[in-house]
């Protein structure tokens, strides 16, 4: 019997979430689903697993929560580490993307040996 776990996240932007997964080489695909048999649709990101028990990031109205059957988790790291890694990459993508909207450009992005990232942005006044 399957028991799906819904794990809350802080992922609110599909574009940045998808960009983070791509940068981490996590294969995924978008799926459009109707909401409550209405004409409204939601987009989920699905990560296929070799055992057929896929992982999904599903919009719950506030954020993309991770939905998976923990009994069939087949990623290379535990779920907590998996989410932390995606969260760190997601945060970097949000910072870069939103900063560029107001004129900043990334000039350095470095992964440090302690697992943290260093990001340097600059903006020139005209």
Q: Where are the domains of the chain?
A: 4-122
Instruction: Note whether 104 and 122 are within 8 A (CB).
Output: yes
The conformational region for residue 74 under phi > 0 = left, psi -120 to 50 = alpha, else beta, is alpha
In Å, what is the CA distance from 14 to each residue of 11, 19, 87, 119? 8, 8, 13, 22
More confident site: 117 or 80: 80
pLDDT of 115: 81
The answer, as to whether pTM is greater than 0.85, is yes
Q: What mean pLDDT, rounded, does the chain reach?
A: 90
Nearest of 6, 22, 21 to residue 59 by alpha carbon: 6
pLDDT tens-digit series, residues 93-105:
999 999 999 999 9
Provide the percentage of residues in the chain whose pLDDT is more than 90: 71
pLDDT tens-digit series, residues 27-77:
999 998 876 666 778 899 999 999 999 999 999 889 999 999 999 999 999
How many Cβ atoms from other residues are within 10 Å of residue 103's Cβ?
12
Question: Residues 6 or more apart from 70 whose CB is under 8 A from it?
Answer: 3, 5, 79
Q: What are φ and ψ of residue 65, in 5° steps?
A: -95, 150
Q: How far apart are CA 47 and CA 98, in angstroms?
A: 26
């Amino acid at each position: 019997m399957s028991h799906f776990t819904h794990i809350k996240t802080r992922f609110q932007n599909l574009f940045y979430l998808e960009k983070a997964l791509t940068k981490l080489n996590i294969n995924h695909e978008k799926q459009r689903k109707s909401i409550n048999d209405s004409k409204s649709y939601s987009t989920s990101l699905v990560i296929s697993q070799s055992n057929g028990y896929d992982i999904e990031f599903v919009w719950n109205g506030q954020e993309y929560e991770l939905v998976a059957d923990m009994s069939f988790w087949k990623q290379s790291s535990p779920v907590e580490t998996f989410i932390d890694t995606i969260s760190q990459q997601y945060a970097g993508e949000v910072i870069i993307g939103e900063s560029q909207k107001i004129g900043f450009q990334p000039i350095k992005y470095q992964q440090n040996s302690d697992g943290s990232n260093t990001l340097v942005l600059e903006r020139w006044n005209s």
